[in-house]
A and B are shown apart, each in its own frame.
Chain A
Amino acid sequence: MSLSRRDFLKVSGVTGGALVAASRLLRLETLTAAGAESLQVEEKYIPTTCWIGKQDCGMLARVVNGRVVKLEGHPANPRNNGTLCPKGVGQIMSFYDPNRVKTPLIRTNAKGVPGEWRKASWDEALSLVAKKMNAAREKGGSKFVWQKGRSKAKKFYDKAFVAASGAFKLHHGAFCSDAGYRALEYTLGLHAVLHPDFKYTRYLLCWGWNVTNAGGNKFCWLTWPQKLVEAKERGMKMVAIDPRQRSAAHFADEWVPIKPGTDLALALALCNQLIANDTIDREYLTKYTNAPFLVGPDGLFLRAEPEGEEEAGAPLVWDTVSGAAVPYTAEGIQPALEGEYTVGGQRVKTAFELFKAHVAEYTPEMAAEVCGIEAAQIERMAREIGENAMIGSTITLDGHTMPYRPVGIMAYHMAQQELGFQAVRAMVMVMMLIGSIGAVGGQFSDFTWKEYKNWAKFEHLKVQDETNLYLKDSKFFPINSNNSSVVAHVINNLSEYGLDDEVVPDVVILHHVNPLGSFPDRNENFEAYKKIGFVAAIDPWISRTADYFADVILPAATIEKYEGPISASDFYTDAETLRIPPMDPLFDSKGDIDIYIDLCEAAGILYGEDGYIAQINKQLKLEGEYALPLDQKPEVRDIFDRYARSKGLEGGIEFFEKNGVNIKGPASVSKVYPYAMEEPFAGILPHRFYGESLLVAQNDMKAAGADEIYWRDYTPFPTWRELTAAQSPAEYDLNLISYHMIEFKQSRTPVPLLIEMAPKVFVEINPATARAKGIADGDEVWVESHNAITGETRKIKAVARYREGIRPDTVAMPHHYGEYVKHPWVKGQGPSPNELFFTGEGYVAQTADQTYLVRVKVTKA
């Protein structure tokens, strides 16, 4: 005690020494307080993974006396390297949120209005859902619908349920970036959007609003900025192409404030300039794409005589060696990339020659006009892309000598626009021209070069009369991203799509998905849900959809459950992890897998050869000794124990419970780079530079009597046209776009710690625009949207905020406000832009993907 007092006097830097000396006697109280540290504290760290967001970062839960007190980043997880984003660290509050659904709930009032509920036992709730579900299953088709938001792990138990129950599955991707996925699947055969080879890229085009705000393709937010910062430190130049500057902030060396939805024109102008500057990689185009294919006057490839009756013959190229048209697969040929040739008496051009003619009109001046930017900026970008591409250069990694084209694109949610599919295709074509696809430092998308099932499917697009609830393979959307708002639109207008009541679902299970909250257009969804007989929601909170329409809510656990397996790869290091419960499920909630096991048991589809257990074995490839017995209700921990053992991990599940993450080591060069693969590009060739099957589909759609609005964008090359939204009357003078804030992106949870930082929705508006309309910073405004097709208008009230970093002709609103209506922190957050957007014709892409652009007028409220 006396020692500590001396130190105290020394340390505290006393100013009134004399008085302190007089106060010695009174020091006691502080020392007594300080002495009270003898309480026993049991403390441990349990590895687990994040449950908010997309990439499931590794976490360590600090648990004191059985209570989780903090979530920290798992230092060994390559995705986050010991760090977390605000959602990751803030979600601790969602564990214990007393506003969670604590027990199964059964609705006691009418649907279509905020719900009233009574508590029910799991048995009662599950048997009710099972009964309804089984009745709908018997009718087949889309009578029993299952929909989930993003799966927070490998989707094995979802797929197993769909397979076991025969559910009609709806997706969420058409609200995310699926238009881009479809473009990549179509063009390169990969299931992803666009990101660069961060380790080596020197010049990055950041296209859209995800850069510093909400992550990108494949990664959620955290890995992305880590790689970005590393690359910037290395000296990478970054150009941000977005109507808002906020998204890229100071990381952008240059900001291209493009007009929303005009990206396609900019990409084609870049192609125009790359060709004009002759900075194109002829070798890549000739060798790995269909650009040298000869195209007849009908727009179709010239083909060799078919060998069988079923098969079309191989497309022809002009061989400069033999001076003849030969199948592109022929040995020892040197195909001409450019030129016009006479084959079989008709003049034909190479696809590339057609492309040159196609982009000739996309001059920098033309694109500048369309995109609302400077022509000089486009020219400079094209020049810098060409220079940085270092066409012809190679690099040797791990003994593999490969092309070195350190230019890439990052694009993600920007794909969701009216011309999304073709815009992303046009962007990929920029990268194809410089040969950056799969080159070191160049354009990547998925973790590895792996053929996605749509690659083959898109060779022959089905345009058939028989269709389903989401208009699959129809004359409306031959490429189809399964948009559940289109589903709602179809339910509300069955006859227009040649459908009848038969397709309207009787039963819908909503798992962690909130169509009324998260998806535009809210009205359309609301009307459709009125027609659905029975809705069960699996969610830890009462979502807007559940509140208005759920008959039963099954309380799901948040982090506190076993889930997985989860990839922990950061593209360069392979790793895998699991979600380990740091504590038992709170209240009367259950882990999602437990819920499905119980539900399947209640529905009688758990056991047996086609049962849920069998499907789990199949999905997780649990075979032989690792297979779950088909006649025994499994423990979820045991499922993962078997999985871990089947992967050769000593100790099974205990390996993950102890270490959290299984680091498999650096991804090999031959896995990452398609040029280093045994078969370049894993044999997914030739890349579809020319979209022949799109033209075929267009012809088929016309023949089937589809309106122009459906087929007009099915063109072999991306083609600019005026956007539907631009046809709204002139008084709707502003473009409304939306975005996610890092605080909320994919949070699916109302976390007060995060809501406190961004409590209310707002409308970003350029001060010059606002002042002209007499709107001051912080004023309440009406935002009224207009549907250029139907003439419908909608309006909401929100607060206007001045931003110099937004185009004067554009306003922007963030999402994720007001979704979990029953939560005290969600009340009063204000409206969602989803109330202003429209779905249906003109407001979905040719792939049925949702757009987030509408014309609005903003007036002072």
Chain B
Amino acid sequence: MAVQTQKLPYGIGRISGGWLLALLVALVFTVFGGYAYAQQLIYGEVVTGMRDIGTMAGAPWGLYIAFVVYFEGVSFAGIAVAALIRLLDLDHLKPIARMAQVMTVIALILGGLGVIADVGKPGRAFINLLKYARPGSPFFGTLTIAILGFLFGALVYLYLDGRRDAALLAKVPGKFQGFYRWWAAGYQDTPEARERHERASFWLALAIIPLLVVAHSTLGFVFGLQVGRPGWFGTLQAPGFLAMAGVSGLGHLIVLAAILRKVYGLEEQIDIAVFRWLSNLLLIFTAVYVYFMVVEWLTSVYSANTAEAQLLNALLRGEYAWIFWLSVVSLLIPLVLLIGQFATGKYRIGWLVFSGVLVNVAAIGKRFLVVVPSQTHGSLMPYVIGSYSPTWVEIGVVLGLMGLGALLFMLFAKVFPIMEVEEV
């Protein structure tokens, strides 16, 4: 789509009824989340379903941490895809690079807010996490590197990658002109500048990939390094987290791309090739994750110690079984669909969106199962078996975060092109 003299591309600045309605829905969720969180601020986390391990027979980490992990996982795939596109020069995928970057930034913000929602002293946490940072804590990797560092990197990348578009848009008169001029920061779409821009974003993309692996491995380390919690300790946690991050993020991206394709009528730009590529990548990640899962499952079924066996029992047959099997099914169905499409070479966007949604259900389920059962059913001490179920406050806060994510995405889409604008 060429830049027109009157209209900005991709509906920027134009407010439609559908968009408004969607925004309203997102806003309602966000406000509800805020209300729920206010309850927590006033009364303390007693309003959540979390309680202490031991005599309280509870889980001190619950839905919040599960979703922090989930959000961070989603963010991973976004930036990874954007970086791969740049690194491998996948030109036909360029249309989804921007949305992938935005998804990353938003997911990271949600992850960060999830952490704030979880801690008992949110105000103090902002200061102390930096002031007294302890690199020895896996939380340092999660919070400082994964969220803050990574968020910084993703923002820089988004910013640099968007400079060219901003420069183009700045030429069009309108209320956002000043904003685009600021973003472009003197960028002129000259060949030299374009080349410099290409080079910078290439190196940035290159740098982001290992950072990404490190960040998401530390997320796995948050659990994988804990020898005292059956089900957590293990070398597979880090790569498993990485794989699951890919699965959930790619699933998200597929859904997002399909929605935008529909909303903006971008059948030309986001063609089936984009989805084929995303589909195949999702297939790889899903297969790898399923492989990890089976390996882990076999290992513990075959030779679990008592504590592991108790945990496994809760997962396979006990109170968590429904989540476990729902997650497994939600992974296996997409896997079959993806393999089928790969084998036949026929890719259907409908099936892909279905798969994308399912793998995210699985991702949320599996994140929950990583976080919670090891606390309630994974005690090495002879305490009574614990239990955890989230309260409306926790569910409200999580829904609020999701609403906020949608809200941010929709707002972004109204001020900046959600896809790279074509050359004038």
Contacts and interface: CB of A to CB of B under 8 A. Distances in A.
Interface of A: 14-16, 19-20, 22-23, 26
Contact of B137 (A15, A20, A23, A26): A15
B133 A16 contact: yes
A14 B131 CA distance: 13
B164 to A, nearest CB: 37
A16 B127 contact: no
A20 B134 CA distance: 9
B131 A16 contact: no
A15 B132 contact: no
B241 interface: no
A26 B128 CA distance: 9
A651 B137 CA distance: 64
B18 interface: no
A22 B133 CA distance: 10
23 contacts: A14-B134, A15-B134, A15-B135, A15-B136, A15-B137, A16-B132, A16-B133, A16-B134, A16-B135, A16-B136, A16-B140, A19-B130, A19-B131, A19-B132, A19-B133, A19-B134, A19-B135, A20-B132, A22-B131, A23-B131, A23-B132, A26-B127, A26-B131
Interface string B125-147: 00100111111110010000000
Interface in B117-165: 127, 130-137, 140
A26 B130 CA distance: 11
A50 to B, nearest CB: 27
Contacts of A22: 131
Nearest to B127: A26
Contacts, number: 23
Taking residues whose C-beta sits less than 8 angstroms from the other chain, chain B's interface range is 10 to 19
A22 B135 CA distance: 14
Nearest to A23: B131
A19 to B, nearest CB: 4
Contacts of A14: 134
A14 B137 CA distance: 11
Contacts of A16: 132-136, 140
A22 B137 CA distance: 18
Contacts of B127: 26
Contacts of A19: 130-135
Nearest to A27: B131
A16 B130 CA distance: 11
B380 to A, nearest CB: 22
A19 B127 CA distance: 12
Interface string B255-286: 00000000000000000000000000000000
Question: Max chain A CB contacts within 10 Å: which of B131, B136, B140?
Answer: B131
A19 B133 CA distance: 6
A22 B132 CA distance: 9
A320 B155 CA distance: 114
Nearest to B131: A23
A15 B133 CA distance: 9
A260 to B, nearest CB: 29
Nearest to B136: A15
Contacts of B130: 19
B319 to A, nearest CB: 15
A438 to B, nearest CB: 46
The 10 closest A-B pairs by CB, nearest first: A15-B136, A23-B131, A19-B133, A16-B134, A15-B134, A16-B135, A16-B133, A26-B131, A23-B132, A15-B135
B169 to A, nearest CB: 40
A30 to B, nearest CB: 10
Interface string B371-384: 00000000000000
Contacts of B140: 16
B86 to A, nearest CB: 33
A262 B187 CA distance: 100
Nearest to A20: B132
A635 to B, nearest CB: 48
Contacts of B135: 15-16, 19
Contacts of A20: 132
Contacts of A15: 134-137
Given A16-B140, A19-B135, 4 more contacts: A15-B136, A19-B130, A23-B132, A26-B127
A22 B134 CA distance: 12
A15 B135 CA distance: 7
A14 B132 CA distance: 9
Nearest to A12: B132
A26 B137 CA distance: 21
A20 B136 CA distance: 13
Interface in B222-273: none
Contacts of B131: 19, 22-23, 26
Contacts of B136: 15-16
A26 B133 CA distance: 13
Nearest to A25: B131
Contacts of B132: 16, 19-20, 23
A23 B135 CA distance: 14
A16 B137 CA distance: 9
Nearest to B384: A778
A281 to B, nearest CB: 48
Contacts of A26: 127, 131
B373 to A, nearest CB: 21
A16 B134 CA distance: 5
Nearest to B135: A16
B127 to A, nearest CB: 7
Nearest to B133: A19
A190 B226 CA distance: 63
A14 B133 CA distance: 10
Question: Max chain B CB contacts within 10 Å: which of A14, A19, A20, A22?
Answer: A19
A617 B131 CA distance: 73
Nearest to B124: A29
A20 B133 CA distance: 7
A15 B130 CA distance: 13
A19 B134 CA distance: 8
